[in-house]
A = this chain, B = another copy of it.
């Protein structure tokens, strides 16, 4: 096992879906074999967008953890924990807030695009602006050196490393470690409507916990090629959601290539194609769903509490090193 530490996680805003599986969960299942992995259920991070509905987060913590376990993330191999149960992260954030300027945080593209979307720039909260600082606390607390991210999160890792360097330089130490982003191969899965990335809020995703019938219905409603009307018509593969999903989940690539050829030429109807995908995804999701159903809330909470204890021990140690480096230590004997 390498010396690298992986930190990753999800905001508990809802159940996880195939987009999460393709974009991150699959990757974690292999990362846990090679590295020391911390997987964080990021309730505090989620609060910055959901401060008016924390109950939603509390409700979804078990769901997210069940999703983890059902796809094969193994609590014996990695530490799954709840962010808010590691309060040392709050203290680290506070120290880091002094090491970055407001204008630097405002140059974060996520903030910029949020400001563009909102009519008043005034409406972004201080918590939203400070979110990359909080993420820096998360990464550094566990000495995370490999951070699986999407392209859009690369600027956040830059901010993390700027704070790390500033801290180490200011306090003449090497306590904090810089983190390297790990970009996954398949980064996005399109929604069943073909319009955008699969997401809970757009209601265009197939969830790991969806029933067999619901999966069938969602596949049935998938966007294909609107000009492919008769079975004999030639159809487009590109932009065809069914093929996007087959690309992600159908293992026999030779057979998939011949399906694509046939579809392009004409003679392969959407309903046959969709039933191929249905068989494929039903087979894939059935054991996941069965495993998921077999996990009790009690088991999930035990895993989360035990993981949070381990995570807290690590974060405490880092915080202690951080305060030592700063000279913010009061001991009287």
Q: Is A116 an interface residue (CB 8 A)?
A: no
Which of A52, A126, A127, A329 neighbours the largest number of chain B CB atoms within 10 Å of its CB?
A126
A170 contacts B51, CB within 8 Å?
Answer: yes
The residue from B93, B103, B130 contacting A121, defined by CB atoms under 8 A apart: B103
Give the complex CA separation of A100 and B48 in angstroms: 11
On chain B, the residues within 8 Å of A97 by CB distance are: 48, 125-127, 130
* Nearest-Cβ distance from residue A96 to partner chain B, whole angstroms: 8
B104 contacts A122, CB within 8 Å?
Answer: yes
Give the complex CA separation of A276 and B57 in angstroms: 68
Q: Is A87 an interface residue (CB 8 A)?
A: yes
Give the complex CA separation of A98 and B126 in angstroms: 6
Q: Is A124 an interface residue (CB 8 A)?
A: yes
Q: Mark A273-296, 1 if CB is under 8 A from B, else 0.
A: 000000000000000000000000
Give the complex CA separation of A94 and B91 in angstroms: 9
Known: A126-B129, A129-B102, A130-B130. A328 touches B94 (CB 8 A): no
Q: Which of A115-135 contact B (CB under 8 A)?
A: 120-130, 133-134
Give the complex CA separation of A170 and B52 in angstroms: 6
* Nearest-Cβ distance from residue A332 to partner chain B, whole angstroms: 4
Copies in the complex: 2
A301 contacts B330, CB within 8 Å?
Answer: yes
* Nearest-Cβ distance from residue A21 to partner chain B, whole angstroms: 25
Q: Is A37 an interface residue (CB 8 A)?
A: no
Q: Is A139 an interface residue (CB 8 A)?
A: no
B90 contacts A105, CB within 8 Å?
Answer: no
B123 contacts A330, CB within 8 Å?
Answer: no
Q: Mark A197-211, 1 if CB is under 8 A from B, else 0.
A: 000000000000000
Give the complex CA separation of A298 and B297 in angstroms: 50
Q: Mark A289-331, 1 if CB is under 8 A from B, else 0.
A: 0000000011001001100000000000000000000111110
- Interface residues in chain A, defined as those with a beta carbon under 8 Å from any beta carbon in chain B: 43-44, 47-48, 51-52, 54-55, 57-58, 61, 82, 84-85, 87-88, 90-91, 93-95, 97-106, 120-130, 133-134, 170, 297-298, 301, 304-305, 326-330, 332
- 30 A–B pairs (Cβ distance < 8 Å), ordered by A: A43-B328, A47-B95, A47-B98, A47-B328, A48-B97, A48-B98, A54-B326, A54-B328, A55-B327, A82-B330, A87-B88, A87-B91, A90-B94, A94-B134, A97-B130, A98-B125, A98-B126, A100-B125, A100-B126, A101-B122, A101-B125, A101-B126, A102-B102, A102-B124, A102-B125, A103-B121, A105-B126, A130-B130, A297-B332, A298-B332
